[in-house]
Amino acid sequence: MTKQYFGTDGIRGKVGSGAINPEFILKLGWAVGRVFSRLAEGKTTVPRIIIGKDTRISGYMFESALEAGLVAAGVNVALIGPMPTPAIAYLTRTFHCTAGIVISASHNPFYDNGIKFFSAEGTKLPDDIEYAIEAELDKPMVTVDSAELGKVTRIEDAGGRYIEYCKSTVPTGFDLAGKKVVVDCAHGATYYVAPLVLRELGADVIEIGAKPDGLNINNGFGSTSPAAISAAVVEYGADIGVAFDGDGDRLLFVDSDGTTVDGDAILYVIAMDQLRTQGSCNGVAGTLMSNLGLELAMQAKGIPFGRAKVGDRYVSEMMKDEGWSLGGESSGHVICADVASTGDGIVAALKVFFAVIDSGMSLKELLSGLEICPQVMINVRRERTVDLDNDPVITAAVKEVEEVMGANGRVLLRPSGTEPLIRVMVEGQDAAQVQMFAEQLAAKVKAAVS
């Protein structure tokens, strides 16, 4: 079955277009309420759903629409205002809510928005619940009797609870005293939580991208615009910098000389620290886009490594299937399942900070064993659809490249999920060879899809 509205991470789009409009979001809230009310039949408690959001100006509009729809379906609502996406996952669990809803378009510009969901366990909703919600959306909206309408409350201490949770994920006695840290919050949902967490752990914190106005989220700041934090770390002579995306589930680091450290490198640091402190790392889940260098580094240390489809949902599924506690994407979405149910930028950051402090090494020193392989990505515009796995010319060209590169290289051809493009990616240990093979394969693909 194909879902009409849900993608790999909820429903997302430009505000005022498609499903991202107040009328649809009102109906969505009602449909969600109907599904969870049906699941709660026979229980004594009324379903309660928590709603949080990032700092986009449209968040207020959609918060009201969701609230009205849920109440009309007879569901109680708890509002927490602007909070990181992983905070909503955590608070959904700790308040024993039926589900959690996040109003956010993550790293997208302010004019986009979206709705993401968490189960009572703080994980992504299973497919059967999403199908059930879509089925309700096709029905006429009917409000429950007035005596059965849901009630709305506001949780005032949500930020404090989440800050204490974040600090609890590192050992007692850990502190960042004497460390100058630049924190870039992308003018997004971490704007007051992340600096407070680090200050309460003793760091000398310099904030940038921490003045949201509803329109500036992800605009020139945050993990998708690393130039700002790289410059700030150098300017202030900081020891380290950490940048989050608009909803706080992704991060990147910057070392003392302004060099960026992406999700692959963060996974490496955490995995190596598990080896150092625990004697083992039971496995790491990456994606099809994870750098070959990370895979080779894991192999060298005897750590199992797997590649899931692109998307944190698929990474989580692989981690669960394999029984692994660590996984993530190059983009900086890092999941530390030993302490969190979903990708959490602040929690992952604290794992890295702990590795730095406890080992007595700099971030650059901790990364000395990781050699990131040169990677070339060429986007080929698709004029017509081609089965990349069965086209004889393309498969022969890929096989030829793979035979030459052997275990020291990798080829990936992947259709874009949002644009009419074929992404041709080649990576290996020889930069010139990688560039040459990428151009050759791109030419073959272009001839096949033009």
DSSP per residue over 226-241, as a string?
A: THHHHHHHHHHT-SEE
* Cα separation, 289 vs 220, whole angstroms: 24
| Residue 257 identity (one-letter amino acid) | D
Phi then psi for 89, rounded to 5 degrees?
Answer: -60, -45
For helices 431-449 and 392-405, give the axis angle rounded to 10 degrees: 170
Q: How far, CA to CA in Å, does 237 sit from each of 179, 180, 241, 399, 436? A: 11, 8, 10, 49, 40
* Cα separation, 57 vs 64, whole angstroms: 13
Residue 106 annotated as catalytic: yes
Determine the Cα angle at 218 with ends 424 and 175, to 5°: 105
What's the token pair of residue 263?
A: 């999700």
**Do residues 304 and 263 make contact, with C-beta atoms less than 8 angstroms apart?**
no
Q: Hey, how many other C-beta atoms are within 10 angstroms of the C-beta on 335?
A: 26
For helices 59-72 and 22-39, give the axis angle rounded to 10 degrees: 40
Give strand ranges (E) for 159-287: 180-184, 204-208, 240-244, 251-254, 260-261, 284-287
| Residue 20 identity (one-letter amino acid) | I
Determine the Cα angle at 207 with ends 108 and 54, to 5°: 35
Three-state DSSP state, 182: strand
Residue 57, CA atoms < 13 Å, CB-side half-sphere: 10
**Do residues 11 and 19 make contact, with C-beta atoms less than 8 angstroms apart?**
yes
DSSP state letter for 409 = E
Q: How far, CA to CA in Å, does 215 sit from each of 19, 85, 285? A: 21, 19, 35
Which residue of the set 104, 106, 230, 341 is catalytic? 106
Instruction: Please list, residue by residue across 244-279, b when 16 or more beta carbons sit within 10 angstroms of its beta carbon and e when fewer do.
Output: bbbbbbbbbbbbbebebbbbbbbbbbbbbbbeeeee
What's the token pair of residue 17?
A: 């277009």
| Residue 445 identity (one-letter amino acid) | V
Residues carrying an active site annotation: 106
